[in-house]
Amino acid sequence: MDAAVALPVEISEWKAAPFDLGGETVFAIGDVHGCAAELRVLLDAIGRLAVEAGGKRRLIYLGDMINRGPDSVDVLEQWAKSEEAHGVDHVDRLMGNHEIMMLLTVIGGPHAHKAETMWLSKRMGGMTLLDQMRACTGESDARPDQALLQAALGDAVVHRLWAMRSHVRLGNTLFVHGGLDPHADPDEFLTRPWTIFTEARWAWINHGFLDWKQGFNGTLVVHGHTPPDKHRAISGMTDPHLFEGDRLGLDGGSARTGIVTAAEIRHGAYRILKAGNPFANPLSSGEE
């Protein structure tokens, strides 16, 4: 039996929250970090739930698909699949800080050296993906550049990578990798290009966002980026996957915890989906 088939998907009860998505049902997936088997069973569950949902159904990936876990290449192949593969009407692929590090490395330029050093560090786990891409091409010492990306991942995945967005707004809800700075103009904040690296803070923020208690001027924020242990330390929340403070966090810790987390969100309610078997001793989050 395929090991992925045996992985469980836990689906919570519905919880009330003031989401207004213009009549759509949204399936939002948090950080995956190379956990291909967990993503596969999660997407299978979402496909079944999408049939039940009816109406217009949207799948949103919140970023950080890559690094750390055992098979980022497989994750990207699943991530790049069309709407029809998942039984939804639209797919949005948002950019996380891990994708930013990789893309800044391969394009070169003023941030390339710092991005590469950070991406390939043990904490960020990019070396795992680089080794996988080298194995795909049979070039054990290939440089991390656009040619390697193209050769290892193929046209469909590379096209999707360059087309990633910073955010999606639906009704009163913002979907973004990191979060919002309540002290910044949201339009200026969210349109900062990823090419400015860590200054594109929509992909990097946690302090100043998770500990903010006064809302975001009517905007509800669904995000990933900050794994459960770090989320708790910043927000003070016991359960980081509860809607609170106009935020809903969906980073389950993935390669550090064994759990990839998502949510099904409808008008006025949401429920949490958790795929995988939790590790007995989760790794410390370190950096996001």
Per-residue pLDDT tens for 48-96? 999 999 899 999 999 999 999 999 999 999 999 999 999 999 999 999 9
Chain-centre distance for alpha carbon 128:
18
Cα(99)–Cα(66) distance, integer angstroms: 7
Count the Cβ atoms, other than its own, within 10 Å of residue 3: 7
The pLDDT of 137-162, averaged and rounded, is: 97
* pTM, entire model: 0.96
Chain-centre distance for alpha carbon 267:
22
φ, ψ (nearest 5 deg) of residue 283: -75, 150
Q: What is the CATH number of domain 3-96+164-275?
A: 3.60.21.10
Identify the DSSP state of 15.
Answer: E
Going from the C-alpha of 50 to that of each of 86, 150, 175, 238, 265, the distances in angstroms are: 8, 32, 19, 30, 11
**Structure token pair of residue 102:** 């990789």
Point out which residues pair with 264 in neighbouring strands: 27, 271
Ordered by start, the domain boundaries in the chain are 3-96+164-275
Q: Evaluate whether 223 touches 176 at the Cβ level (below 8 Å).
A: yes
Strand 9-11 relative to strand 269-275, pairing: antiparallel
Point out which residues pair with 57 in neighbouring strands: 25
Q: Is the pLDDT of residue 2 over 50?
A: no
**Structure token pair of residue 16:** 């009330």
pLDDT in tens, 188-213: 999 999 999 999 999 999 999 999 99
Determine the pLDDT at residue 68. 96
For 175, residues 6+ apart whose C-beta sits below 8 A from its C-beta are 26, 28, 60, 62, 92, 94, 167, 168, 169, 222, 223
Q: Evaluate whether 160 touches 93 at the Cβ level (below 8 Å).
A: yes
